[in-house]
């Protein structure tokens, strides 16, 4: 088997995660709020009236119409994927040849690197400046010097939560020769999309998802917004029926009822502010500003905090220490009582282990 597998796949670790068996799960930046019951019932009715023996719509026309209503981007400038994960795969399939360069800032979303590895591309990861400030000039230099095919900008960034100023995004778009993939998976938590830049920049592609603010990680629905030319290229590599009929139906219901669903954003944003204030008051913790539904902080007590929470059946995300990082934690906002419990446990660890 070793002789058959592509060399660059050998080093990859399979993404096999256990089903969450915890009382509180805040490690994957999901919404803590389930989809409203009356909308689930509407979905069941729709499914009862759907022929499941037929393939789904290959190009999801109803969903595109709803996405146009939500984003303002014409249907010809939108393509959907089984999560934005699949869109990242499609971007690689369409644009990245073995040996090509892709550039991203780091730390950021792991799938950019995984797909670069699968594509046998060279991935240049530009370190943040001290204090987790994205190195915009460093990114421009890396993309220009190597004629990079792709420049990823994650905004708000996962895991640090930082936001790129629109001026910096424009500076990068003006300078680099690459396809600029702006990942807006968490944009609803910040509130200001850069979708207006699509009109001027044909090499800009924006990734979005229903997994986060819409609370629909379970249905796997992401979408990309771009210029018709770029979207047409992505359609060439799209699998014939990549969005199953259940996903398409539920996504349409979600978008039609977005005012109700997105009301949860206000709760989560208020929780984020409260949690940041609590953490900022703790000694030995450096909290970073977040435009997202999660908070990222650095501390030498990351392992103790992770273990203490795990003992109480709470799962957060811990990042291992490195030379530039004493250890760090990211957790997404749960329901208010859940956040309170998490913060109390963090406080206990910080004071007891002082
Ligand atoms: C920055 C970023 N982009 C994309 C994704 C993938 O989202 P999806 O569920 O749409 O595949 C995630 C998921 O955590 C993410 O953090």
pLDDT in tens, 101-117: 999 999 999 999 999 99
Residue 1, pLDDT > 90, answer no
* Rounded Cα–Cα distance for residues 176 and 99 (Å): 19
In CATH, what is the architecture of 37-258? 3-Layer(aba) Sandwich (3.40)
Closest atom of ligand 1 relative to the 221 alpha carbon: 10
pLDDT of residue 77: 98
Q: Nearest 5°: phi and psi at 221?
A: -140, 110
Residue 145 token pair: 């010097």
Do 347 and 301 touch, CB atoms closer than 8 A?
A: no
Are domains 7-30+263-352 and 37-258 of this chain identical in fold? Answer: no
Closest atom of ligand 1 relative to the 186 alpha carbon: 1
Read off the pLDDT of residues 152-211 as tens digits, 9 standing for 90 and up.
Answer: 999 999 999 999 999 999 999 999 999 999 999 999 999 999 999 999 999 999 999 999
Instruction: Determine whether the shortest distance from the Cβ of 86 to ligand 1 is under 6 A.
Output: no
Instruction: Determine whether the shortest distance from the Cβ of 158 to ligand 1 is under 6 A.
Output: yes
pLDDT of residue 320: 84
Reported as a pLDDT band with limits 50, 70 and 90, residue 15 is confident
Mean of pLDDT values over 232-256: 98
pLDDT of residue 237: 98
* Rounded Cα–Cα distance for residues 295 and 332 (Å): 6
Distance 215 CA to ligand 1 centre (A): 12
Q: Where are the domains of the chain?
A: 7-30+263-352, 37-258
* Rounded Cα–Cα distance for residues 298 and 285 (Å): 6
Residue 325, pLDDT > 90, answer no
**Helix (H), strand (E) at residue 131:** none
Residue 234 token pair: 């992505």
Read off the pLDDT of residues 258-294 as tens digits, 9 standing for 90 and up.
Answer: 999 999 999 999 999 999 999 999 999 999 999 999 9
pTM of the model: 0.96
Q: Nearest 5°: phi and psi at 101?
A: -105, 135
Closest atom of ligand 1 relative to the 154 alpha carbon: 1
* Rounded Cα–Cα distance for residues 258 and 50 (Å): 23
Distance 159 CA to ligand 1 centre (A): 11
CATH number of this structure's domain 7-30+263-352:
3.90.1150.10
Read off the pLDDT of residues 39-75 as tens digits, 9 standing for 90 and up.
Answer: 999 999 999 999 999 999 999 999 999 999 999 999 9
| Whole-number Cα distances in Å, 275 to 85, 289, 327 | 29, 11, 19
Distance 65 CA to ligand 1 centre (A): 23
Instruction: Determine whether the shortest distance from the Cβ of 183 to ligand 1 is under 6 A.
Output: yes
Residue 354, pLDDT > 60, answer no
Read off the pLDDT of residues 114-163 as tens digits, 9 standing for 90 and up.
Answer: 999 999 999 999 999 999 999 999 999 999 999 999 999 999 999 999 99
């Amino acid at each position: 088997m070793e002789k058959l597998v592509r060399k660059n796949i050998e080093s990859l670790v399979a993404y096999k995660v256990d089903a969450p068996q915890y009382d509180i799960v805040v490690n994957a930046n999901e919404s803590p709020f389930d989809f409203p019951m009356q909308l689930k019932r509407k979905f069941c009715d729709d499914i009862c009236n759907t022929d499941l023996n037929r393939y789904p719509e290959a190009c999801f026309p109803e969903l595109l119409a709803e996405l146009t209503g939500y984003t303002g981007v014409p249907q010809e400038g939108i393509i959907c994927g089984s999560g934005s994960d699949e869109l990242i795969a499609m971007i690689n399939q369409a644009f990245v040849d073995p040996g090509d360069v892709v550039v991203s800032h780091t730390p950021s979303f792991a799938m950019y690197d995984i797909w670069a590895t699968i594509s046998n591309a060279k991935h240049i990861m530009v370190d943040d400046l001290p204090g987790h400030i994205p190195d915009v000039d460093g990114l421009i230099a890396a993309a220009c010097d190597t004629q990079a095919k792709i420049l990823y900008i994650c905004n708000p960034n996962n895991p640090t939560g930082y936001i790129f100023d629109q001026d910096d995004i424009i500076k990068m778009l003006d300078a680099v020769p690459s396809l600029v993939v702006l990942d807006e998976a968490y944009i609803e938590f910040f509130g200001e999309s850069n979708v207006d830049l699509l009109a001027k920049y044909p090499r800009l592609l924006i990734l979005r998802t229903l997994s986060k603010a819409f609370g629909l990680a379970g249905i796997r629905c992401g979408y990309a917004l771009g210029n018709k030319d770029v979207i047409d290229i992505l359609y060439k590599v799209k699998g014939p029926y990549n969005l199953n009929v259940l996903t398409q139906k539920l996504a349409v219901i979600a978008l039609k009822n977005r005012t109700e669903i997105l009301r949860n954003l206000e709760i989560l944003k208020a929780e984020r502010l409260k949690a940041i204030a609590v953490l900022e008051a703790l000694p030995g913790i450096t909290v970073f500003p977040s435009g997202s539904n999660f908070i990222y902080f650095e501390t030498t007590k990351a392992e103790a905090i992770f273990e203490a929470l795990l003992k109480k059946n709470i799962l957060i995300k811990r990042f291992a220490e490195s030379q530039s990082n004493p250890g760090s934690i990211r957790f997404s906002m749960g329901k208010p009582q859940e956040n309170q419990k998490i913060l109390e446990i963090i406080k206990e660890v910080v004071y007891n282990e002082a």
